Every structure is written in C-alpha cells, then in structure tokens.
Amino acid sequence: MKPSRAWKAIADSATLGRLALLATATLPLAWQAQVPAAYVHLAQFQALAQEHGDRAAGTPGYEAAAQYVEQELADAGYESHRQYFTFEYRGEEVESFNILAEAEAEDGETGAADADTVVMLGAHLDGVPGSPAINDNASGAVALLEAAKALSAQEGITSTVRFAWWGAEEYRRSPGSRHYVEDLAEDDSEELESIAAYLNVDMVASPNPVIGVYDATDTDSGLEVPDGSVEVMEVFTDYFDARDQPWVPTDWNFVSDQVAFVENDIAVGGLFTGSDERKSPREARLFGGEARRPRDPNYHLPGDDLGNVDLDTLETMTAAVTHAANALAQDSSDLE
C-alpha cells in the first residue's frame, strides 16, 4: 500500500481519540518521512475537535487551536501576537482574535525590493459551529503554518512576510480580517499602503478537488480587481505550469478574508479546491474525481473531518503556498 493510501485508510478507520497518535505511530518509519507535515497538524486539529466539539470563534476549541498554532510558530522561531476584536452575532457581542507573525526583511544590497514592503498570507482558523472543520479551514491554516516554518529557515529576505490566522471568517463580513484592515486604515494609513499583496488560503484539501487559483483576469467581477493581482495570480499559475499541474481560475467574488483587502485596493491572490459546487466533466478530466458531484460534500457539515480531505491535493497546495511565500519574500518588486 502506498503511503497516501495508507493515510486515507487510517483517516477512514481510526477512532477520533486515536487520530493524533496514529498520525505518526502506525506507519513504517520509511513512510513517516513521506507523509505531508500538514496532515500531522490536521490530525491534531481533529483531536481538538473531539475534545471541544468545534473551534468556532469565541469557543474553547478556537482557543485550543490557537495555542497549537502559537506553539508551532514559537518552535519555528517566530514571536506571534494576538489581535483581539469583537463582533455582533444574534444581538450579542462575541470576542475573538487573529494571530499574527512575520518574517522580517533583512538589510541587504540586492535592491530587489524595499525592506518596508510587506507581503501578507492568511487563512481563517475558525470553523462553523458543530463541525470539526478540517477542510474548511484547518487545511488552509496548516498549509500556511508549513509555509511560515519553511520561510523561517530562509536567508536573503528582501520583503517582510506577515502571516495571519484569522478569527471569525465564518460570520458575516469576515470580521477578523476586516478588523485588521480597518484598524490599519484608521490608525496608520502608511502601514496599510506598505502591504504589496495579500494571499488567501481557504479550503485546499477538498475530497473531490480542483486546483483553483483566484481569477485576477475576471472583468465581470462585482469587486474591482486591484493592480498587482494578475502578478500575484501568476506566482501560482507559473508554479503550477512549471510542474505540468493543471489548474482552473476561481470566481474573483469568492467571499472570504481577501475581500477587505480588495476593498482597500491591495493586490490579492489565493488558492481554493472547492466547497459545495459541483465538479464539471471538464474538471473531472483534468483532476480526476467525480463529475457532477460536490467538490466537498461535507461543506459546513459535521462530516468535515479528517476523512474529508484529499492528501495529494493538500500536499500540492501546501507546496504552492510555500513557494509563493518564498518567492515574494525574495523579490516582490513586480507587485510595486
């Protein structure tokens, strides 16, 4: 049995309480090194879901997931911090927070980019109530975590790269990312203007997936596409093309944490493998899977657990996010 198939069998058959241990203990040592590190993180998120029920904003599950991310960041050498905010839901004030960490630009002589330039990557850490929320969006959160860990070992960074794990995306208007952007707009417009681009990572391991890239060429979008977004898109598409990996454009109006950045004229890009949209016959030919079936049949449902992810897609998208973070850290001049 190949490693990926073995992991799928584990995900399908293991009891939730044993998943975190099974993440490393049950495979032969030669296979363990081939297992995507992001999957090991997902197993931990699944264990937290069993313990707390979910990780919706303002819940003990969200706090536990945040502590896990913060510890992983600390182990990689980052100093993260929380940005607290409140939002209203059904007439009540709910408190949540974002987690922010950054790899700072180094003083160098390359001249590739200004050291004050910031590139941001983000993924929402919360999930809907009553669901383990593994594909939506533990997948994006752990892909981002792996990209941050990889970047911590890089030298020659000429643009600061800031990573964000957003709170409360699953609520109207994504209040976590919106609070971040609006807070900068009110308090320090220069800092907001220093953000050259924002890359969003939301649902990147769907079980019936496509490899989707936010479509910055969408002229019919209700959201005006900021300058620089095509160049961000090409960071992903060039990466996929160089590896003969098929991809498709996604709707620019995808409602997630990138919207507040778009509204403030910041270049945006992102990755997406699908929610409850039905996969087209053409997409099935490109990516395999089942045509006319949802890309994620467990979208926002209790079945969005560890068995609801495609490991090969998770690995592909994690590598793409890591590439984008590294590439833009080294040279973001095309975005200016």
Which residues are catalytically annotated?
A: 169
Contact 143, 123 (CB under 8 A): yes
Longest Cα separation, the chain: 56
Stated as kind and residue range, the H or E segment containing 38 is helix 37-52
| Phi-psi label, residue 274: left if phi above 0, alpha if psi -120 to 50, beta otherwise | left
Q: Which structure tokens are listed for 158?
A: 């000429």
| Residue 296 phi, psi (nearest 5) | -135, 100
Stated as kind and residue range, the H or E segment containing 82 is strand 81-89
Cα 51 to Cα 38: distance, rounded to the nearest angstrom: 20
Cα 212 to Cα 248: distance, rounded to the nearest angstrom: 5
Cα 325 to Cα 38: distance, rounded to the nearest angstrom: 16
Q: Which structure tokens are listed for 103?
A: 């790899």
Cα 196 to Cα 265: distance, rounded to the nearest angstrom: 10
| Phi-psi label, residue 58: left if phi above 0, alpha if psi -120 to 50, beta otherwise | left
Which whole-number Å values give the CA distances from 238 to 126, 139, 182, 320, 322, in the listed order?
Answer: 31, 23, 32, 10, 14
Closest CA to 163 of 40, 257, 234: 257
